[in-house]
Amino acid sequence: MRLLKLVPDTTNIQFLKFRNIAIIFSIILTVASITLTATRGLNFGVDFAGGQMIQATFADDLEAPVTELREDIAALGIEGASIQRFGDENQVSIRMRVTEGANDDPALANEVSTRVTQMMQAEYEGVRIDSVDSVSGKVSDELFRAGALALGLAMIAIALYIWLRFEWQFGVGALFALFHDVALTFGFFALTQLEFNLNIVAALLTIIGYSLNDTIVVYDRIRENLRKYRKMEIVPLLDLSVNETLARTVMTSLTMAIALVVLIWIGPDLLFGFTTAMLLGIFVGTYSSVYMAAPILIWLKVGPDTFVPEETGGEQKIHKEGYGR
Amino acid sequence: MNDFPTWKVWMLTALLVVGVLLAIPSLLTDAQREQIPDFLPQPSINLGLDLSGGVHILLEAQTEEFEDQRLQTMSDRIEDSMEDDGPLIEIGSLSRSGGEVSFTVRDEAQLDDAMERVRALTQPVGFTGERDFSVENEDSLQIVVRPTETGTAEAVNTAVETATEVVRARIDELGTREPTIIRQGSERIVVQVPGLDSPESLMSLLGRTASLEFRMVNYDADPNMALACQAPIGSEALPYANQQETAGCVIVQRRVMVSGDQLVNAQQGFDQRTGEVTVNLTFDGPGGRAFGRVTQENVGRPFAIILDGEVLSAPNINEPILGGNAQITGSFSVQSANELAIALRSGRLPVELAVIEDRTVGAEIGEEGVRLGGLAGMIATVAVMTFMFITYGRFGIYSNIALALNLFLILAIMAMLDATLTLPGIAGFVLTVGAAVDANVLINERIREEQRRGRKIIDAVQTGYKEASRAIFDANITNFIGGALMFSFGSGPVRGFAVVLVVGIITSVFTAVTITRMMVSVWIKNKRPKELVI
């Protein structure tokens, strides 16, 4: 049987030739993402902004009466409710921001969602209330802080780990690559105004994890090659390492992408933002491990001598910790 | 390749069999699970509220009001103590402000005695000899009583602890299926009730303090004051619970005749004459006697039935209420009377609870999540497996077996840990499918590479596993760090995702590295292949 080979054995692409263009491109994208996030802002869901969100499905296949609903809610004296269709034609999500008064009085906030759901059940026959989320300003602030903390800590802990297992230059490189991925994801959410909620923080942390998978696979090969080819220039050595791991990169990204595309295509609408972020993360993460994590090693003067002091002790330790034997 | 002696193969196989068996109950329906004989372990995975439907409520103790109340009680007790505990001590300008109670003693000679009496009202807290209130003599005749930090913390802690039990009792009365009630941090209580569609009744039941009091109405008070909701000293003006029907307030005496703490039972019932919905109360011995005595002395005068600081009704006492039974009315519906009865039976909340987060998921949407998520998971798995097979052939089959075992093991471990599967958790499953093959891709690619470099079969496989393991190890550790941080700082659905991720990392390394290696080595040992197609 002939097996499929996505990347021919003789592949030798000079990735690093484009490193300067790539880094400029990356910097522009990163700056644009940060600016966009700062100016346009993220579309925070109730998890982070507080307030209420009601999701409802109207009777069989009828298009959701968004305009009518908007008027009915305004008639209840509730201002600034945003009503959007999501998923199927007959599904809506209604979002109400937390009001100043309701921030101090949780009971008032809950009353708002109760009134809206009762009105909907009375006015629209066959409507099904799918979910009601009500988060007070206090809780949403805490959730936001906890999310930001988890994100920050994860990045620092991961960079420290890489520093311990490799060298400081690799830690810095990984951190830059991570920062790039996170910034771009934020930029994506600021651009599309997809709802940014707790699930997205989970997606971000996972993106960090998998972007790192790629980075570590490349770094591991660079470390190996630095020891193996002591005379080789750094640029061809990086190219060699990226090429040697290319088959794996393509294969893994592809299988991950298959899983995610299936989830976007068929999975529950509630997961749409989450899975989209993940899919984006797969591509950005792969790109950044080649064009951010690797070139930084050149600028930080990684050379054949980088791993020399640890060659004996370090090597043994690595083998002990590894799984293969 | 002697690294897998027969005993090791049997041991790992046994482990996998146990894992798969432990996973099976989670895949069955409730009815099918009933059929499993009792002697077999049958752990099954919990579905999160987003998958099963239900209500999640986060309650927070309103500590500011609680501290206020505590200070008020202290102030009342000081007043009583000066009058009752020995010779009368005259005090003046008793005030409660800025989080402290202060008063002056008229006669300087009684200052020490007054200090002594106030000290007697304080309680020791902890083991350091500290007391819950500090008593100090400031400004010659002024005594200041301040709650200590430890004292307040202890009081809040006890109150929230009691409140958790009260909440549990109230929810148990509702008879819902498997509610979860957990205290979170120092001031919060998480309540999760699966399968409950309407949160309103639950919230109104939990948010109610259920502090029931019977007090005499101050019938000497000026009716104009009642209209303006002002009260003379020693009395309190309380609003009606049903504001629309009656304007103004009822002026009641501060002293409580009987309180809800003295109840032994509360039941919803009907008034036989009027057919009105009522709540029937039964008091304990002392409560019943006190009720009898006061009503005997006050026939013809009104008393007020007060619930959570609002007057339900203020009927006249037609005859002494002896025997410890009473009936209260207050334009109840059957449901609201029942709720009140439950609240009264389960006791008064020592601290007011506010709902600060409330998430309700309908049962249908939950089922849809399980169905769509499961389908997506299956399609993704089949797609990835097909792809692995056409790319790596025999080694792809090994990876696929490992992948399937991995999914079973995640289920088994999660069921044993009593972990909860959420909607993002299903996404976590799908991702694990994608990520678990990464380890095998790394290994298989490395074996290909080593073969290209001219290594013999056994050597190529061994080096492939050894070299790839290093990167697999590093990559999984970093992912594990991310997952662990997500678990410790995340909440709700994020945690659900992190659990699957963390468990998945452990099981996928085990299956993708150790188990595939075992299969490869058994194959090589038995077949002694001449060439390696990979």
Strand partners, B194: B54
Q: In the predicted model, what is the mean pLDDT of residues B221-244?
A: 79
pLDDT at A61: 67
Percent of chain B residues past pLDDT 70, beyond the cut? 98
Q: Smallest CA–CA separation between B462 and chain A, in Å?
A: 8
Chain B residues closer than 8 Å to A259 by CB: 380, 383-384, 430-431, 433-434
499-518 of B, contacting A, C-beta below 8 A:
501, 509, 513-514, 517
**In chain A, residues 144-183 whose CB comes closer than 8 Å to chain B:** 146-147, 149-150, 153-154, 157-158, 161-162, 165
Q: Do B509 and A114 touch (CB under 8 A)?
A: no
Phi, psi of B304 (to 5 degrees): -115, 140
β-strands A43-44, A195-196 pairing: parallel
User: In A, residues 48-67, which contact B (CB 8 Å cutoff)?
Assistant: 55, 57
Confidence band of B112 (pLDDT split at 50, 70, 90): confident
The answer to whether the CB atoms of A209 and B482 lie below 8 A apart is yes
* % of chain B with per-residue pLDDT over 90: 17
pLDDT at residue number A267: 78
pLDDT of residue B404: 92
- Which residue type sits at B511? T
Beta-carbon separation of A267 and B372 below 8 A: yes
CB contact under 8 A, B360 and A135: no
CA B5 from centroid of its chain's CA atoms = 50
Select the more confidently predicted residue: B196 or A85: A85
pLDDT in tens, B386-407: 989 999 999 999 999 999 999 9
Q: Express each pLDDT in A212-257 by its tens digit.
A: 888 999 999 999 999 888 888 889 999 999 999 998 888 888 888 8
- What was the pLDDT predicted at B246? 63
Which parts of chain A register pLDDT below 50? 310-325
- CB contact A11 to B (< 8 Å): no
Rounded to an integer, the average pLDDT of B320-342 is 82
Q: Return the half-sphere exposure (C-beta side, CA atoms, 13 A cut-off) of residue B364.
A: 7
Q: Is B385 on the interface with A (CB under 8 A)?
A: no
Residue B196 has pLDDT above 90, yes or no: no
d(CA B368, CA B375): 10
From chain A, pick out residues whose CB is under 8 angstroms from the CB of B373.
Answer: 267-268, 271
pTM attached to this predicted model: 0.78
List chain A residues with CB under 8 Å of B358.
110, 113, 132-135
Confidence category of residue B160, pLDDT binned at 50, 70, 90: very high
Task: Report whether pLDDT(B274) > 90.
Answer: no
**pLDDT at B409 (0 to 100):** 94
**Could you give the angle at which helices A198-228 and B423-452 cross, rounded to 10 degrees?**
10
> What's residue B506's pLDDT?
92
- Closest residue in chain B to residue A199, using alpha carbons only: B494
Q: Does B200 or B52 have the greater pLDDT score?
A: B52
B71-75, B208-212, B295-299, B466-470, range with the lowest pLDDT: B208-212
Q: Which of residues 77-116 of A touch B (CB under 8 A)?
A: 106-107, 110, 113-114
Edge-first strand order for the sheet with B303-307 is B258-259, B212-216, B303-307, B310-313
Helix (H) or strand (E) holding B431: helix B423-452
Determine the Cα–Cα distance for residues A192 and A277; give it in Å rounded to an integer.
11
From the list B355, B388, B479, which residue is nearest A209 (CB)? B479
The whole-angstrom separation of Cα A54 and Cα A128 is: 11
- Is the confidence at residue B243, as pLDDT, over 70? no
pLDDT exceeds 60 at position B245: no
Query: Of B354, B471, B513, which has the smallest distance from its Cβ to A216's Cβ?
Result: B471
Test the B interface: residue of A1, A12, A110, A196 with most B CBs within 10 Å: A110
Residue B367 or residue A184, greater confidence: A184
The radius of gyration of chain A's CA atoms, rounded to the nearest angstrom, is 25
Q: What is the pLDDT of residue A151?
A: 84
Any A CB within 8 A of B27 CB: no
The answer to whether A324 contacts chain B (CB < 8 Å) is: yes
Q: Which of B107-111, B230-234, B484-488 has the lowest mean pLDDT?
A: B230-234
Q: Report the residue from B372, B470, B475 with minimal CB separation from A268.
A: B372
Out of B58, B369, B391, name the one closest to residue A4 (CB): B391
Q: Which of B208, B123, B211 is nearest to B173 (CA)?
A: B208
Does pLDDT of B330 surpass 80? no
Whether B483 and chain A come into contact, CB under 8 Å, resolves to yes
Q: Do A199 and B369 touch (CB under 8 A)?
A: no
Sign, CA torsion B427/B429/B430/B431: positive
CA-based nearest distance A62→chain B, Å: 18
d(C-alpha B340, C-alpha A15), whole Å: 73
Q: Tell me, what's the pLDDT at A159?
A: 87
Does the beta carbon of B57 lie under 8 angstroms from any beta carbon of chain A? no
Can you tell me which residue has the tokens 């601290």?
Answer: B351
Q: Torsion angle, CA of B346/B351/B355/B361, rounded to 10 degrees?
A: -30
Q: Is A204 on the interface with B (CB under 8 A)?
A: no
Q: State how far residue A291 is from chain B, nearest Cα, in angstroms.
A: 19
- Highest mean pLDDT out of A35-39, B193-197, B205-209: A35-39
> A138: nearest CA in chain B?
B356
- A3 and B380 in contact by Cβ < 8 A? no
Chain B contact set for A213 (CB, 8 A): 435, 438, 475, 478-479
